[in-house]
Amino acid sequence: MALSRSRRRAVTLTVVALLCGGALYEAGGVVDGLRGAAGGVVRPFSWVVNQVAQPIGHIFAGSVNYSDLVAQNQQLRTELGQAQMQAAEGAAATQTLAELDAQLHLPFVGTTPSLVSQVVSVSPTNFSATVTISKGSADGVLPGMPVVANGGVVGRVVATTSHGSTVRLLTDANSTLSVTFGHQQATVLLSGRGVNDPLAVTAIPITTPLNVGEVLYTSALSGGTMPGGLPVAKVKSIAVTPGSSTYSAVVTPVADLAHLSFVDVLLWEPST
């Protein structure tokens, strides 16, 4: 009887041991299952976080890229502005060189020495027409000296300072100049009538024909206020009064007096 109890106990312990081992084995599977389950639970949250985080990352990346784009755009605008400024300066320099070149190549001046000067201000009124130039007595400029520009006579120096001069233009109402024309070299008086009016030539002998389009030149007579042969004006129209021994003409300056940037002062005095 006692032996039977011992055998049953041994069998029971063996069975319990087997059951515990099986339980532990199964427990390992359960743990793995729990791990898998935990992963299954966490995984959706990870997906949601990733889906939310990725657009936010894109937004930050886009912000950085946009800032770079703005900076690049600003840089391009700056470079474009500099290029445009350089182009404008280049065009201005080219124009200035062209004007200077025109002033340095005045065939009608001949061998008369001259001084290139810049026009620094213009003071036209209805009757008074003067300009101020950048050369004066310190540069050898004297009152009475002729002033020419590309095309012909501009006027005469009427006042000087050390480094500036006032030039009275042909169109000034107080301007008069002896001019000649034709093969007979007839001499007549040309007068200014104001900025907005053409020049006038009166008392032309009826026996001396003058044609529209003809150019009038400075007189070479002794005592003239300018050297002879300088182009002054072109005939625009002629007015003849029947029975009169003289007629008149309306003329316009051959030099462009409205757009003077540089002029030439002829270093010439009547006494020479």
> How far apart are the C-alpha atoms of 143 and 138, rounded to whole Å?
13
Q: What percent of the chain has pLDDT over 70?
A: 65
> For the residues 194-221, what does the mean pLDDT come to?
91
* Band (224; pLDDT cuts 50, 70, 90): confident
Residue pLDDT, tens place only, 161-172 = 999 999 999 999
> For the residues 91-98, what does the mean pLDDT come to?
53
Report residue 158 as tokens: 């009427």
> For the residues 151-180, what does the mean pLDDT come to?
95
Q: Domain 113-266 classified CATH 3.30.70.1290?
A: no
* Band (10; pLDDT cuts 50, 70, 90): low
> What is the structure's pLDDT at 72?
75
Quick check: 24 pLDDT over 60?
no
> What is the structure's pLDDT at 269?
84
Residue pLDDT, tens place only, 239-262 = 999 999 999 999 999 999 988 999
Phi, psi of 5 (to 5 degrees): -65, -40
Quick check: 29 pLDDT over 60?
no
Q: What percent of the chain has pLDDT over 90?
A: 45
39 or 76, higher pLDDT: 76
Task: Kindly report which listed range (46-50, 124-128, 139-143, 244-248) carries the lowest average pLDDT score.
Answer: 46-50
> What is the structure's pLDDT at 58?
53
